[in-house]
Structures are given as C-alpha cells and as structure tokens.
Amino acid sequence: MFCGKCGKKLGCEANFCSNCGTPLSQDLESIDVKTGGASVNIGVGNLPNSNIHIGDKIVKEDEPLVYEMNKTVNSRLPIKASWAAFAGAIGVIGSIASIYSVLSNGLLNSTEQNNWFFPLMPISILLLVVGILLLRSKFIWLQFFGFGLDEQGYIRFVRLRGKCPLCTGSLSVRYSGPKGARSIGASCSRNPEQHRFTFDPTWLDNL
C-alpha cells in the first residue's frame, strides 16, 4: 500500500503515513459507488485517481455525455404562433366585453341570452398563452408532449424519445426537481434518479 499524498510505501495495516502523517483509514462515507446498466464505478476516499471500474462503459465526471433524442411525433399544425396569439387576444377582449355587457344589463340568468363567452374565454386564454410562449422561446414542453415552431413560424406538435447513453433504457423529456425550482431534462426509464441529462430544445432540427 502506498500513501496517496507523498507516495511512500507502507504496510497493509497502517492507519497513518509514517512520512507525512496523512490518515489512510477509509470509512463508508468516503467511498463513492455509482452503478449503471453496464458498469460499476467506485471512488476510494482520498486516494487520487483510484477509481475502480467494473464493466465495459467508462464515463468520466468531466466528460459531457452525448445522447440522441428523436421526434416520435412531429406534426405541423395549420396555425402560426402569431395567429394563435392574435386570435387569443381578440377572443379574450371579446369575452370580457360580452361579460361586462351581460352583467350590466342583468341578462346573466336570462334564457334568451346565449352565453357563448363562457367556453370561448378559456380557449382564447390558452391560444394567447401558447402563442406568446412560442414566440418568445420557440419551444414549450407539457410533460408528455410539447409544441415548437418551425422556420415558417407554424406550430408543431412534438413527442420525443431517446436512448440512455449509460444503459439500455429509453430517455423521455420530463420536468423534475423541488417545487419552485423544477427544470426540464432527459430522464432514463431504468434509472430515472441517477441517469438524468440536460435537455436543450435548440438541439432539435426543424423547430
């Protein structure tokens, strides 16, 4: 056995280095074990470059992982984001005006009044919000599917699926994290807690 600091050769039962005094004993908290679908990595305490690897896939902490995310669904909708935002704004204004007119004339409970603005209001708000978000960020994700913009400004309905670079699991895009600090990322179906990767929608083409 050798000291991890000065390199002096020591006996197998030594607890401290006789040359520099560095403690050599290791407790369970100083051993970092990471497992994957095809490998096991064990980091041993204060010994530099002393990782133990079992398996055929070696991934270093400072090396970025590259994975491929495919569009399983990529349907172009016959509406542009600017049209959706404009139609939503007109619908919201019209609904507010209609509600004000009905309330001011006492026609809310009238059988002759067609309260068309009740279903129109949420639809208009949805169009307005989706249109503004797409014009701003060009991509929004709703946990299981998303919407993006193509080069002509048309809205595309998108579903994504990829393959985990660490195991044989499949990757799906999800929001996760504590409340108030949730972020979007790619999560593995086999090991969703440890096999998580950053997701950047700008990687996607035709959006």
On whether both 82 and 47 belong to a single domain, the answer is no
Q: How many helices (H) and strands (E) does the chain have?
A: 2, 10
On whether both 103 and 145 belong to a single domain, the answer is yes
On whether both 93 and 53 belong to a single domain, the answer is no
On whether both 57 and 81 belong to a single domain, the answer is no
Alpha-carbon distance of 84 to 166, in angstroms, equals 41
Q: Look at residues 41, 60, 14 and name the one whose alpha carbon lies nearest to residue 6.
A: 14
Alpha-carbon distance of 100 to 180, in angstroms, equals 36
Amino acid at position 11, single letter:
G
On whether both 79 and 170 belong to a single domain, the answer is yes
On whether both 115 and 86 belong to a single domain, the answer is yes
What's the pLDDT at 88?
A: 92
- Angle 173-178-182 (CA atoms, 0-180°, nearest 5)? 40
On whether both 130 and 58 belong to a single domain, the answer is no
On whether both 37 and 80 belong to a single domain, the answer is no
What's the pLDDT at 1?
A: 62
> What residues make up the domain containing 188?
69-203
Task: Compute mean pLDDT per 10 residues along the chain, 207 residues long, and list them.
Answer: 72 75 58 51 50 51 58 86 93 84 65 63 90 90 87 90 86 81 85 84 70
Token code pair at residue 28: 């369970």
Domain total of the chain: 2
